[in-house]
Structure 1
Amino acid sequence: MCNLYSMTASVDAMKQLFGRFEGDRSNVQSYAEIYPKRLAPVLRSTGDTLLLEEMEWGFPGPQAAKGRPVTNVRNLASPFWRSALNMPERRCLVPVTKFSEWTAEPDPETGRKRKIWFDLADRPLFSFAGIWRPGEGVSFMAFLTCAPNSVVGAIHPKAMPVILHQADHETWLRAPVEEAIKLAQPYPDTNMRMFE
């Protein structure tokens, strides 16, 4: 389960990947480490254009979650997510420069688990398939996960975030749900890097 990522790309890099978008484009702050319950940049569709805005990472959780936000969308058939997935206007793109998973075993020297980072060798910026919902004063977002590829699976064998190919942005944002959720596939191993 991904609970840490980074978004340090410039506005120019975002324009290259996402094309034209509205919102404050003069400067996007660097988000070196984004954890749940923190604000992060998100692009959502508003008709024919994209809107850049900050949203809090994690949907307010059900009572069983004891107040913890739900950050990763795993069960796409769950009623908790289905209403947002069914509405294209509630899907979004979550810009990312790298994401992290923790090692299963602690480091023998420090006794602590280590952060292992992942990025794409051929792209300094990419996006997760996200969904969002409005809230009072702030909107909330979460992103989809799927079975891991072998690179991520070596560290976290349960799941990895759904990384979208640039050509799939429009499908994710606008297609009927049956077509959109077909994008919940592991990203190809050959394009991924792992580092500490």
Structure 2
Amino acid sequence: MCGRYKRKGDKQRIAEEFHVQHGIEDIAMPPEDLNVTPYSTQPIVRDNRDDGQREMVMMRWGMVPFHTKMLESLKGRNMFNARAGSITTTGSWREAFKKRRCLVPASAFYEWDKIGTAQGKPFTLTLSDASMFAFAGIWDAWRDSRGDWLQSFAIVTTEPNEMMAQIHPRMPVILHRRDYDRWLSRDETERPPADLLRPFESEGMEMVPGGPTVSDTRRKGPMAFHTTTTAMLPNIEE
């Protein structure tokens, strides 16, 4: 599961990191969001349908499939995460996975311990080099009864790597840069890139305890998300 993440970087930085060519001037967004929550509006990167170059679009985190009749029918359902194991068979995700894939820019994500000795405590997970990265996302466009369009996305989750398995049974799919083009391709195929839906390597990540107020979705400032210690959890092989 991935229910909270951090985006530290304005639209110009995202454009540079992900080689975005379209949409930069058309959107307004805060320079950072240290506590991204489901159902908020966030930037994603996808291939432009006309020229295939990358574009940045603001979308709601919490996907509304195109075939949804009423938003009320999704009440109580987790539509912000799509499980990799059932993404090719579940009606809510299947068509989007085939041809509407995107990158979700992030700097870190948060998870709460469900397995280890510190159950209920939040942890912050980043790449070891502290660089911005991308979750594997899928998106869709839904039209309401008035004819207005809502674009929305979900983050794909998979089994945990060894580090993540110490605290949680799932983790978001983090894509390697070398796989961005393949993931973003709009070419419809009967064999979409399911092989990319795998755990990121533990040795390329770091995990530290989260701050005491990270659970408060109203807290957006840096003091909510950092502790004075950088102690890692014990190595699972020890």
TM-score, structure 2 length as denominator?
0.71
Deviation at 1:69, TM superposition (A): 4.7
Q: Contact 1:10 / 1:27 at 8 angstroms: preserved in 2?
A: no
Q: Which residue of 1 aligns with 2:21?
A: 21
1:142 aligns with 2:154: yes
Q: Contact 2:11 / 2:24 at 8 angstroms: preserved in 1?
A: no
**2-structure distance, mates of 1:122, 1:178:** 33
Q: Which residue of 1 aligns with 2:62?
A: 58
**2-structure distance, mates of 1:81, 1:144:** 10
Q: Contact 1:17 / 1:166 at 8 angstroms: preserved in 2?
A: no
CA RMSD, Structure 1 to Structure 2 (Å): 2.6
Q: Which residue of 2 aligns with 1:185?
A: 198
Residues 134 and 28 of structure 1, relative CA distance in 2, 3 Å threshold: same
Deviation at 1:12, TM superposition (A): 4.7
Q: 1:125 aligns with which of 114, 122, 132?
A: 132
3-state secondary structure, aligned to 1:23: coil
Q: Contact 2:38 / 2:80 at 8 angstroms: preserved in 1?
A: yes
Superposed CA offset, 1:33-73 (max 9, x none): 11111111101111321111111101238877534451111
Q: Contact 2:2 / 2:110 at 8 angstroms: preserved in 1?
A: yes
In structure 1, the gaps of 5 or more residues are: none
Question: Structure 1 or 2: larger helix share?
Answer: 1
% identical aligned pairs: 29
Q: Contact 1:98 / 1:118 at 8 angstroms: preserved in 2?
A: yes
Q: Which residue of 2 aligns with 1:33?
A: 35
**2-structure distance, mates of 1:168, 1:137:** 30
**1-structure distance, mates of 2:45, 2:111:** 24
Q: Superposed, which structure 2 residues align to 1:1-196 within 5 Å?
A: 1-25=1-25, 28-29=29-30, 30-46=32-48, 47-60=51-64, 66-74=75-83, 75-76=86-87, 77-87=89-99, 90-104=100-114, 113-135=120-142, 136-157=148-169, 159-174=170-185, 176=189, 178-195=191-208, 196=210
After TM superposition, the structure 1 stretch with the greater mean CA deviation from structure 2, 94-103 or 56-65, is 56-65
Q: Contact 1:13 / 1:125 at 8 angstroms: preserved in 2?
A: no
Q: Given residue 119 of structure 1, which amino acid in structure 2 is its aligned partner?
A: T
Q: Given residue 64 of structure 2, which amino acid in structure 1 is its aligned partner?
A: P
Q: Given residue 31 of structure 1, which amino acid in structure 2 is its aligned partner?
A: D
TM-score, structure 1 length as denominator?
0.85
Deviation at 1:24, TM superposition (A): 2.6
